[in-house]
Each structure stands twice: as structure tokens, then as C-alpha cells.
Amino acid sequence: MVVELVPSAHLLIGNIDELLVADSLDRRIFGVTLMAHLVNKYRIPAAFAGVDLTLNLIETLLSCSANREHVNMFAALVPALKLLTVASPFHADAVKGMLKRARTMCLSRIALSRSHLWAEESKEKRLVKDIDSCLYGSRQ
């Protein structure tokens, strides 16, 4: 990843907010993923402040209505969020809570689906499985 080529994280972490508030979903996903990798490599106060900002953004998006974009975003973010729980233990409970809320959002969308076939093959169902794997490991 690009983090290995970063000699100093301070500048990058200081400007992470530009990626997180972008209109593009891909940029937001990249910003969260980048922040997870940066805090994993550089465990400095500025990185943990960046994690706070990142988690606030995700929390805000979760509080909005659940739509397909949210499902796509969380499907891409599960690996980064899992990395955040390891890299920043003080944020682990907040991240796990967000994953549980995203899981509930997906289950609600599945319950409201018109087709059983759609529900079984949906991105929501795959996301629930990914979140379960992240939260509970091989228990499920």
C-alpha cells in the first residue's frame, strides 16, 4: 500500500479530512482505509486524532437513512475497520458498535426485501457475513 512509501505521516494525517468529506464514495473509502493503515504504522497522537475524525464521519453516515450507498461503503470498509480495532484498541469498542449497527441496517434491508432469492444473493447478506467474520471470527 501507499503507506509504506510515506516517510512522514504528519502531513498526510493532517489533511485526511479532505478525503473524508469528499463527495466521491471512493475517496471516502480510500480515506478511511488510508487512515487505518497510517494508524497501524504510525501510532502517534495525530494518527489517533485522525481515527476520531474518521469514526465521527462513519457514525454520521450511519445515522442517515440506510441506502445502497451505505451498504457499498461498509462492504469496502470492513477490512479497514477490522485493522482499526487492532491498531487502536481504545477505538475498538466504537468500531465494533458501528459494525453491529451496519449489520442491523443490512438485516433490516433484507427483511424488507420483496424477494427471498434477492435477499439470499444480496450485497447485504454478504456484508452481514463479512461483519460476522470480523466481529466473531470463526465462531459463526
Number of domains in the chain: 1
Of 59-68, 89-98, 111-120, where does mean pLDDT reach its minimum? 111-120
What would the grid cell of residue 92 be?
A: 475498538
What would the grid cell of residue 6 be?
A: 510515506
Q: Which residue in 38, 30, 50 sits closest to 83, CA to CA?
A: 38
Report the distance separating Cα 29 and Cα 42, nearest Å.
Answer: 20
pLDDT tens per residue across span 35-86: 888 888 888 887 888 889 889 988 888 887 667 888 888 999 999 999 999 9
| First vs last C-alpha separation in the chain | 30
For residue 44, what are the domain limits?
2-139
| CATH code, domain with 57 | 1.25.40
Q: How many other CB atoms are found less than 10 A from the CB of residue 102?
A: 27
Report the distance separating Cα 74 and Cα 58, nearest Å.
Answer: 9
- Who contacts 96 (Cβ-Cβ below 8 Å, separation ≥6)? 85, 135
Q: DSSP states of 58-124 as a string?
A: HHHHHHSPP-HHHHHHHHHHHHHHHHHHHH-GGGHHHHHHHHHHHHHHHHHHHHT-S-HHHHHHSHH
Which position has the higher pLDDT, 70 or 13?
A: 70
